[in-house]
């Protein structure tokens, strides 16, 4: 039972344009969300997080948006760069139940120079 | 330079053998985790440990065992009872502590296990 879903396995974007990666979740008790970036043969690297008390969090070129009513979050990368080409995972957890995260299946982003 | 070290990077196992994957961290983190990743799937939690000498089963613990005798180390044993052990295994850690929640997990580079 996949509680966190990334329905787009892949995405291609031109360099300099915006990349939008989407993630949906089913458990309304989730209140903390993260995005990870993963290069081949490496472990995931933490990118950005958002708590459910916010609807937006920004860090440089990366912005995460949270729509609690739709149980949807998205990661915007502006402008996209070739080095952003990687697999992106979203993850969700529920406070006060330990630090257990549920991960999506990942979206492979390719930024075309 | 702090981080998480997983070894070996590639591991081969014969049918019926147990094999142990190493995970060491020098981040002074209390909490450690083991995940499994299969093609086309997200990371699934095998075991986690909030503190030394304590660990809990995750969603797919059957056929696996762990120990947490030292803060820095959280080895995972894939036993012969695990029917489909071929996968990419990732170890992670987080700060932990009393407010053990809403903490990003930091990952090692993984071990790819294959059955001969």
Distance from CA of B2 to the nearest CA of A (A): 14
B19-39: pLDDT as tens digits = 999 999 999 999 999 999 998
Q: What is the sign of the dihedral through the CA atoms of B40, B62, B109 and B49?
A: positive
Residues A49, B104: C-beta atoms closer than 8 Å: yes
On the question of pLDDT at B100 being above 70, the answer is no
Q: A34 — contact with chain B (CB < 8 Å)?
A: yes
Cβ proximity of A5 and A53 under 8 Å:
no
pLDDT in tens, A23-37: 999 999 999 999 999
Residue in chain A nearest B107 by alpha carbon: A43
- Closest by CA position to B43, among listed B105, B114, B116, B99: B105
Task: Please say if the pLDDT value at position A99 is more than 90.
Answer: no
pLDDT digits (tens, 9 = 90+) for A49-95: 999 999 999 999 999 999 999 999 999 999 999 999 999 999 999 87
**Taking CB atoms and an 8 Å limit, are B110 and A43 in contact across chains?**
yes
Are B104 and A46 a contacting pair at CB < 8 A?
Answer: yes
Q: Is A95 exposed, middle or buried (0-12, 13-18, 19+ CB in 10 A)?
A: middle
Within an 8 Å CB–CB cutoff, is residue B13 touching chain A? no
- CB-CB neighbors (< 8 A) of A105 in chain B: 40-42
Mapped onto helix, strand or coil, the DSSP state of residue B89 is strand
Between CA B57 and CA B63 the distance in angstroms is 11
Range 36-95 of A in CB contact (< 8 A) with B: 36, 41-46, 49, 51, 89, 91, 93, 95
pLDDT of residue B40: 81
- With a cut of 80, say whether residue B98 has pLDDT above it: no
pLDDT digits (tens, 9 = 90+) for B46-61: 999 999 999 999 999 9
Look at residue B30 in the predicted model and tell me its pLDDT.
92
Average of per-residue pLDDT across A3-14: 96
* 8 Å CB contact between A25 and A2: no
Q: How far is CA A36 from CA B8, B67, B104, in A?
A: 23, 27, 10
Q: If pLDDT is split at 50, 70 and 90, which confidence band does A42 have?
A: confident
B39 — contact with chain A (CB < 8 Å)?
no
* pLDDT, tens digit, 9 for 90 and up, residues B53-95: 999 999 999 999 999 999 999 999 999 888 889 999 999 999 8
User: Sign of torsion, CA B22 B27 B28 B34?
Assistant: negative
Task: Assess B44–A contact: CB distance below 8 Å, yes or no.
Answer: yes
Q: B98 vs A23, A30, A98, B73, B87, CA distance in Å?
A: 30, 20, 10, 20, 33
């Amino acid at each position: 039972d996949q509680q966190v879903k990334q329905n787009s396995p892949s995405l291609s974007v031109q360099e300099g344009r915006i990349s939008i990666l989407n993630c949906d979740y089913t458990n309304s008790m989730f209140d903390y969300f993260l995005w990870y970036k993963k290069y081949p043969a490496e472990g995931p690297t933490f990118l950005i997080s958002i708590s459910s008390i916010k609807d937006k969090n920004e860090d440089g070129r990366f912005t995460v948006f949270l729509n609690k009513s739709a149980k949807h979050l998205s990661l915007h990368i502006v402008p996209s760069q070739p080095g952003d080409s990687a697999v992106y995972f979203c993850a969700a957890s529920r406070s006060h139940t330990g630090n257990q995260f549920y991960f999506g299946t990942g979206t492979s982003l390719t930024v075309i120079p | 330079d702090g981080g998480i070290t997983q070894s070996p990077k590639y591991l081969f196992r014969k049918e019926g053998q147990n094999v142990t994957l190493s995970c060491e961290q020098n981040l002074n983190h209390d909490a450690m985790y083991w995940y499994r990743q299969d093609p086309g799937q997200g990371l699934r939690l095998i075991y986690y440990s909030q503190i030394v000498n304590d660990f809990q089963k995750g969603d797919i613990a059957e056929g696996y065992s762990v120990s947490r005798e030292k803060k820095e180390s959280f080895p995972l044993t894939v036993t012969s009872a695990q029917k489909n052990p071929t996968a990419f295994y990732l170890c992670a850690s987080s700060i932990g502590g009393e407010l053990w929640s809403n903490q990003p997990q930091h990952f090692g580079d993984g071990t790819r296990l294959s059955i001969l």
